[in-house]
């Protein structure tokens, strides 16, 4: 069983010397190689630099079973989170046990060698139940487990060759040994770590001040910049916010370092894991607040974990983790006293103010006031830069309908009206035009139509991400593909689906391109509405029928819808 290290002595790393690394890198070029996923790169970095001490590599099957069942490695050491290398079945089958494989980053750089000792197909539902508390896809890590992770796990020791490369905030990233050395140099003996994946507002600052005071310790703000909960504020914005808040702390007592951890949002187990990681980084105390690393609601609309489950589990294992917990209740603002206080210490009758995460997002998206008692003006400014109000964000209008239904004509009219308003660049991705420039090799099979629509979705999502307006006008006959496009775009901005519901009889009567006639004669195969399906959207944002209504009126209906969605400012 491994014992916790003294908090400032160097911690074992898995790297070989620079000289050996050079040699190994050349030899590893010949080995079978695995291109690591973003999450695996985060895990590997912390394995190699001692952040996951005492792990020596990706878990083998016996360790994995112990960790899943009772949070212990096979030798009894406390470890709550399975750190596994998931791969595809084909790759796993191509290997022999005992073989070395090269682990590469996404550019193909070799970061480490894994000596494969174990290979097995895990029972993912069991892992979900035991580690995350429920086999429920509403949990981001369970969703990842079932939908992103490969079917087979490989385990074995790691030989570290080089650290993953980071181009951003390099001066703010520290290995456990770099932090330990820093604390040694400054003579810091007691260090309380604050884990966060959110921008820091005044409540957080108050909480960290109090924690440092209570523990009589220096403060390490230790935000996660690897992977956090889907939908979180991106780490670039957050780090700019942290840097702004750092100025509010006394420099001699507080420091900040970025942690390239891939969170799992596993609540109580995650808190224990976070504690071990901070112990490895030389800290002596760790703040666990309300709903630590909470994943949000389950598919029945209830919380996955109780608000203080993480504190309870941490307390149970505190001695083994080797770190003292500083537990905190929810902090709220008491108006009469103009200060933050723990929610459970407040007497009745005083005015308590609080702004939830959802309310904050609403205020940002509508450009509403965010009071100074809640956050710092510098933080709000950064958040507003990243999340301008809806009327200045990018969005996509996605027309779908039969050939000849009027999609392109309305889309063109809409484009002109939006350009007349100005403010954001407008791009029209019309079905015919896309097929000429982006999808010229594709036909009209289901497979090809899906590729075509996904390409349109990708381009539209990039336009949306960069603050422009994308107008798409393909037939897009399949519901599932349209849903996939919606998801791609909604990650960056609003999606407005417009069903141009002109009946087929009217489209065929118009037959502007003469295609219906050819389709009826069997000269064009797989023609939508004649010899190929069209699945009408059930709940589009808007439905228009061009029979007997002029184009201008249809385009105006779209404009009204966009106004109603807050995407363009009304007159
Ligand atoms: S899809 O299903 O969304 O990929 O189709 P899309 O790219 O929008 O189709 C663009 C135009 O292709 C012409 N065309 C056909 N449409 C449907 N079925 C078949 N078999 C077919 N063959 C050619 C048709 O003119 C579509 O343009 P619109 O503007 O919709 O009339």
Q: Which residues, 6 or more positions from 523, have their beta carbon under 8 angstroms from its beta carbon?
A: none
Smallest CA separation from ligand 1 atom 12, residue: 432
The encoded tokens of residue 2 equal: 């491994």
CA of 561 to the centre of ligand 1 (A): 26
DSSP tag of 343: G
Every domain of the chain and the residues it spans: 18-160, 170-259+265-333, 390-564
CATH of 390-564, one of 3.50.50.60, 3.40.50.1000, 3.40.50.300, 1.10.3210.10: 3.40.50.300
Sign of the CA dihedral with 89 first, then 95, 99, and 102 last: negative
Q: 547: exposed, middle or buried (C-beta count within 10 Å: 0-12, 13-18, 19+)?
A: middle
Question: pLDDT digit string (tens) for 111-166?
Answer: 999 999 999 999 999 999 999 999 999 999 999 999 999 999 999 999 999 999 99
Within this chain, domains 18-160 and 170-259+265-333 share the same CATH topology: no
Sign of the CA dihedral with 334 first, then 340, 343, and 346 last: negative
Kindly give the number of the ligand 1 atom that is closest to the alpha carbon of 515. Answer: 25
The encoded tokens of residue 527 equal: 């023609």
Smallest CA separation from ligand 1 atom 19, residue: 527
Active-site hit among 104, 143, 173, 198: 198
Strand-pair partners of 93: none
CA 282 to chain centre: 28
In the CATH hierarchy, which fold is given to the domain comprising 170-259+265-333? Rossmann fold (3.40.50)
Instruction: Provide the pLDDT for residue 329.
Output: 75
| Residue segments in the chain with a per-residue pLDDT below the cut of 50 | 1-4, 571
Instruction: Provide the pLDDT for residue 570.
Output: 61
Q: Is 143 considered catalytic here?
A: no
What's the rounded Cα separation, in Å, for the pair 363 and 370? 7
Instruction: Name the residue of 528, 529, 530 to mutate for ligand 1: max ligand atoms within 8 A of Cβ.
Output: 528
Instruction: Provide the pLDDT for residue 1.
Output: 47
Question: pLDDT digit string (tens) for 326-349?
Answer: 998 788 999 999 999 988 889 999
Cis peptide before 54 (omega within 30 of 0): yes
Smallest CA separation from ligand 1 atom 31, residue: 403
Active-site hit among 159, 175, 196, 464: 196
Q: Is 198 considered catalytic here?
A: yes
CATH superfamily of 18-160: Sulfate adenylyltransferase (3.10.400.10)
Smallest CA separation from ligand 1 atom 20, residue: 527
Phi, psi for 215 (deg, rounded to 5): -90, -5
The annotation places the binding site at 401-408
Q: Is 197 considered catalytic here?
A: yes
């Amino acid at each position: 069983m491994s014992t916790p290290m003294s908090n400032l002595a160097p911690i074992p790393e898995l790297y070989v010397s620079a000289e050996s690394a050079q040699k190994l890198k050349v030899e590893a070029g010949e080995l079978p190689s695995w291109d690591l996923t973003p999450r695996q790169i985060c895990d590997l970095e912390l394995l190699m630099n001692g952040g996951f001490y005492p792990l020596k590599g990706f878990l083998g099957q016996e360790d994995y079973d112990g960790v899943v069942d009772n949070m212990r490695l096979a030798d009894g050491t406390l470890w709550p989170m399975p750190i596994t290398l998931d791969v595809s079945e084909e790759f796993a089958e191509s290997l022999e046990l005992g073989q070395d494989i090269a682990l590469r980053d996404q550019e193909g750089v070799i970061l480490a060698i894994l000596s494969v000792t174990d290979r097995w197909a895990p029972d993912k539902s069991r892992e979900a139940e035991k580690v995350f508390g429920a086999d429920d896809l509403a949990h981001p890590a369970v969703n990842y487990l079932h939908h992103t992770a490969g079917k087979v796990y490989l385990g074995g020791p790691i030989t570290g060759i080089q650290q993953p490369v980071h181009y951003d905030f390099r001066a703010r990233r520290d290995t456990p040994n770099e932090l330990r050395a820093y604390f040694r140099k400054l003579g810091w003996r007691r260090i309380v770590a604050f884990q966060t994946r959110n921008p820091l507002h005044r409540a957080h600052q108050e909480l960290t001040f109090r924690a440092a005071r209570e523990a009589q310790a220096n403060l390490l703000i230790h935000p996660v910049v690897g992977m956090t909960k889907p939908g979180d504020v991106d780490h670039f914005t957050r780090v700019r916010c942290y840097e702004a808040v750092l100025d509010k702390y006394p420099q001699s007592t507080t420091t900040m370092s970025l942690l390239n951890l891939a969170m799992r949002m596993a609540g109580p187990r995650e808190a224990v894991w976070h504690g071990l990681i901070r112990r490895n980084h030389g800290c002596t105390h760790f703040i666990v607040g309300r709903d630590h690393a909470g994943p949000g609601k389950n598919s029945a609309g209830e919380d996955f974990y109780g608000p203080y489950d993480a504190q309870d589990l941490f307390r149970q294992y505190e001695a083994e983790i080797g770190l003292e917990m500083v537990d905190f209740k929810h902090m709220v603002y008491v108006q009469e006293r103009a200060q933050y206080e723990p929610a459970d210490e407040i007497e009745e009758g005083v005015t308590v103010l609080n702004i939830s995460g959802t309310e904050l997002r609403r205020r940002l998206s509508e450009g509403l006031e965010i009071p100074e008692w809640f956050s710092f003006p510098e933080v709000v400014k950064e958040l507003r830069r990243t999340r301008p109000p809806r009327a200045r964000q990018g969005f996509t209008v996605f027309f779908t309908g039969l050939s000849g239904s009027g999609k392109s004509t309305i889309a063109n009219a809409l484009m002109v009206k939006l350009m007349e308003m100005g403010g954001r660049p407008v791009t029209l991705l019309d079905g015919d035009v896309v097929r000429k420039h982006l999808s010229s090799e594709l036909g009209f099979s289901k497979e090809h139509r899906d590729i075509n629509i996904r390409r349109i979705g990708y381009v539209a999502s990039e336009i949306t991400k960069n603050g422009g307006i994308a107008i798409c006008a393909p037939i897009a006959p399949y519901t599932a593909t349209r849903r996939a496009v919606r998801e791609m775009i909604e990650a960056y901005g609003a999606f407005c689906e417009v069903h141009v519901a002109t009946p087929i009889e009217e489209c065929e009567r118009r037959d502007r391109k003469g295609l219906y006639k050819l389709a009826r004669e069997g000269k064009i195969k797989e023609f939508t509405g004649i010899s190929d399906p069209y699945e009408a959207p059930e709940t589009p944002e808007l439905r228009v029928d061009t029979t007997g209504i002029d184009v201008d009126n249809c385009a105006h209906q779209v404009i009204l819808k966009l106004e109603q969605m807050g995407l363009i400012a009304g007159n």
